[in-house]
Structure 1
Amino acid sequence: MEKSMLPANTRPGDVILVSIEKSSGIINAIWPTQARLHGVAGKRCIGKKIQSFLTPASKMVYKTAISKKNKFSESIIRLELCSKKLPPASYACSVWHMRKQPLVLVIHNKQVPETSGTALPSNGSELIEKREAEQMVLAAKNKFKRILEKITMPIAAYEIQEPKRFVFINPKFTEWFGYTIEDIPDIDHWRKVAYRDDAYFIRMQKIWREELIKVQQGEKPESHPIEVTIYCKDGSTKDIEMSFSTDNNLCYITFNDVTEKNCATRALRASEKKFRNISEQLPIPICVFSDKGETRFLNNAFVETFGYTKEDIPTRLDWLTKAYPDTDYRNEVIANPETATKRNPSKSRTRLVMQYEVNCKDGSKKIIEFFVSIGNKNEYVVANDITGKVKAEEELKLSHRQLRELSSYLENIREEERKHISREIHDELGQQLTLLKLDLLQMSKKLHPEEKEMIEKMKQADQLLADTMRSVRKIATQLRPSILDNLGLVSALEWQSREFEKNFGIKCVFESLLNEPQFTANQSNALFRIYQEALTNIARHAGATRVDAVLSQEDLRIVLEIRDNGKGFRMEDMAGKKTLGLKGMQERTLMIDGDYRIESTPGQGTYIQISIPILITNQEIRQL
């Protein structure tokens, strides 16, 4: 009994396309994907050899059909398929080539006579069977052709051997380049219209042939992309990447338009060239490192400043090693930008300003201010040599420190002179005036009561002497209040507050929050004079009705705060004025290593804060 034809797919009349590696017979793909190969799901067939589905006799028929010597490569053949799912059955099949695949086995849902594996049918019914099978093959080819025409990239196929005709181009090819297959029937026509420079074509043809030989010899399945410039039918040009694979005498080419990419690349290269040209002319050292730490660029100013060339520091690590030979210092330099980058993980670019001492190639050291911009791909470093600036600043600071020390020394001498003069006036002159008063008193007792005129003159002299003694005491106190030396700073500030309130009629409240005052002589003198100057300024300019002052301790510092309820002023208005009183308070504060702060708002009064370090302990005070 003749074997029955079992369908390879689930629907009558369907065609199955099986992509097969020619050398190994391994199945690469099956279309449609839901098809079943003799009862076996298509996805389970992929990776297996087609021979495993053929009976021994059909294996020989299949081998003959795929042979290069077979002149009827697309004729209908009968193959008997077998599997564990179904009993063996015969199928009408044909073999034909397909782009980028060695071959395609087309399996039809039709049975053919079993008299011959490869012979062509001769009687009428067999001819009908053949025509029907050929029609199904043609339908499958047309369906596959429609698939190719829908692909969104240009595809072309031409014969490798003469006459090198184009056998296929898809609509996307015509859309991109404008040429139809009638415009370019063969490679010669394509060369004339697409490559208008013969030298350029010969150069590209050489590259093409080298790749073609490698693909034909099986060294690679397809060529690497070859970039060329092609003229379109409308006269415009496109930068194209072409890749190809071969199958017997056919070469299948795919095209990728890289015109925009090349334009962007050229623009980037032009921008880089412009950047290099500008950077080379700048007198500021510039360096660029890649994200992998490679040194990409050094300008002339960088080489002149540090002495290192690109060969000396090919990587960022080489630069760090040579610029910062001390390991601990180098680790500090490395840690700073890494820490800053971690602090800003969301930012695509991090900008840093750092200052380090750099070892130059000649052994000299320079203080450099670095401006670093860290992007996604590069690290841009701009250096500014501030060695001279830092040296000048240090010299200026030294000069200021020396001037301040001199000013402090002169102030101390002045205070000592005031103290000496105050004591001389109080002790010597005061004592002499007291003796003189006693003498006048004795003389007045010896006068006769009738000598009224003399008694009156003696009273006037006594009054004048009393006024003179008050003036002497006032002058001595103004020069140096004895209470400052005898009872200390707190008592002196309290006394000054009472004197201020008595003299100017402005209420002045002073409060000390210190348990045991801790001051050196210089600190006591400076704070007292600052307080005096502040009260004087308030009396002259503030128009205040109340002054509050507090002396307290915060951590290891003594703080004097003075606040009034006067008219205040704008801080910016004081910038250009010769406010000697304010400048004097600031200088006195700096001379005792203190901090000076003043705040004022029109209509809201003025606030002054003096903060000085504690330089003497309670034990040292008790030992004085």
Structure 2
Amino acid sequence: MDEADAFLNDYEIPFKGIVEQSVAGIYILQDGRMQYVNETFAAMCNIPRNRMTGELVAKYVAPHQLDALMKQYEKRIRGERPGPFVLHTRRPDGSRGYVEIHGNTVQYREKPAIVGVSLDVTDRVQKQEELSRSRTQLRELMMRLNSVRERERATVAQELHDVVGGMLTTIKFDISRLGRRLARQESGVKSHAHQGDSALAATQQLLDLVQESIEAVRRISEGLRPSALDHLGLQDALVQDLAQFESRYGIGCSFNCNRAPLPLSPPRELGLYRIFQEAMTNIARHANASEVVVTLTWDDTTIALEIVDNGVGISAPPAKGAHLGLLGMRERARDLGGRAEIGPGPAGGVRVFVRVPTEGAECTQTETP
């Protein structure tokens, strides 16, 4: 035995111990077969080590990844240096895992082989996917918000043009006609006896039109921001809206509250009210429900709003646009420092539960899918 062989024998045992205890997976790939894998690599792939050793890599790689993996293997054998490869695996709990594989070309038993390490990057990939989904949802939400904003602007513009504008035009013509009559009277032109009555009738018509214009403006203003919030508070505003909802859609509504309302800042009142509106809109459009129960619960630090219907529940996937409404409710709750939970109700249908802090309180944010 020469000096080099003695050196290798002296270090074989400690190096083997290091490899076997490594937190990174280590492998040797040659001729399309795994010539060696350590326990960590086998555990990352969720395949027994004795089944992987000496086996063709094609037998335990997902079919949709096999071609890409073999092409990268061939590039490395030719001396090229492609980037790392992310292998899709199946974890013990059945969920998908991700293993990032690195490697270098070496001569092993007088033939080229790939020696490399692997890292479990499942958490990193899942966070990247979650971030990508969040960005997509955010873009969809912004598009929906812009669409809703433009639709509201178009509705207000049409109301102003068709209703208020038409009334003001009529008022203008009636005032002009009344002015001409007064001008004739002042110039000494004799009028028939009934002209005085006509002037009184025109004046009454003007008053009626002015009243209708006032009511139209109030209706438009109510759509932009409910006056009941300012004058009655959140609790009474919800009761009023539920009565109108029941009358309009024929869906039975009931309201429960555990105590007299506590002071709540205008942004929190408006935020909770908008969440309530979105939930009731979803019920009217999608739930096919016959009953809705709304519960408002107060204590010294938090306020909770629960809306439960007995409808058909949330479809999978949700109806077009519905998932954006659900996302919007969660975002509103998060903006208020709280959380929104949206899921099946205790007896079917959908349950929307929102909890936000009152002034000066903090509430842990929890995302519910």
- Normalised TM-score (structure 2): 0.46
Higher RCO (C-alpha under 8 Å, 6+ residues apart): 2
- Report which of the two has the higher share of helix: 2
Larger radius of gyration: 1
- Normalised TM-score (structure 1): 0.30
